Amino acid sequence: MNTHFFFALVLPDSIKRHLHTQTDELKSTFPFKKWLHPADYHITMAFLGNAEATMKEEALELIKHSLANEQAFELDIDGIDVFGKKESPRILWAGVKQEERLNAIQKKIYESCKQAGFELDKKPFKPHITLARKFEGEPTFSINKVRQLVNPEEKRFQASQIALYQTHLGASPSYEPVYTINLK
């Protein structure tokens, strides 16, 4: 079976519950093909794809070393938006406020993965928490209607863990943390 791996910021359970409560109100009005299980909420730092064990282990060692002195830090949930066509989006997501610490840690993870030999996405880092995928409704989608019903208000949380996740396609939840790095 084809499986993928990625490094991501782990969200606290309280934030996962908060986002799930908010999105539960949207499911009947906005038909997306897949609503993510709350256990799958995270912020992707580097997507590895189908990773060879030796490359994955090297990336993990490099990341552990590069994050050895990193402190936990605060992040804030900041609104809801979409990727893709506004009238038929690919992704519905919750954002986080811009935070330099998050960007610096993501860069360390990204560079460590590249050093281990991974070909990574070159798009700029846009931290987000995927909530749902592939809008399938009629009439067209409206982010303004979503925001009228629910807009995850600013909610602060402690960012304290990075995990290497493995995907289990077709399962729910779909993502399994296989190794966790705790920030100080």
In a domain, 82, yes or no: yes
pLDDT, tens digit, 9 for 90 and up, residues 95-146: 999 899 999 999 999 999 999 999 999 999 999 999 999 999 877 899 999 9
Q: For residue 99, what is the domain's CATH number?
A: 3.90.1140.10
d(CA 90, CA 133): 5
d(CA 122, CA 43): 17
Cβ atoms of residues 142 and 92 within 8 Å: no
pLDDT, tens digit, 9 for 90 and up, residues 18-43: 999 988 889 888 999 999 999 999 99
- Bridge partners (DSSP) of residue 74 are 158
Active site residues: 42, 128
Q: What pLDDT score was predicted for residue 155?
A: 86
In a domain, 182, yes or no: no
- Edge-to-edge strands of the sheet including 175-182? 42-49, 5-10, 161-167, 175-182
Confidence check: pLDDT of 76 > 90: yes
Q: What pLDDT score was predicted for residue 94?
A: 94
Question: Residue 75: which domain range?
Answer: 13-166
Q: Provide the pLDDT confidence category of residue 154 given band limits of 50, 70 and 90.
A: low
More confident residue, 31 or 154: 31
Q: What pLDDT score was predicted for residue 113?
A: 98
What integer is the mean pLDDT of 51-72?
96
Structurally, the chain folds into a number of domains equal to 1
pLDDT above 70 covers what percent of the chain? Answer: 97
- Edge-to-edge strands of the sheet including 155-159? 32-35, 128-135, 88-96, 73-85, 155-159
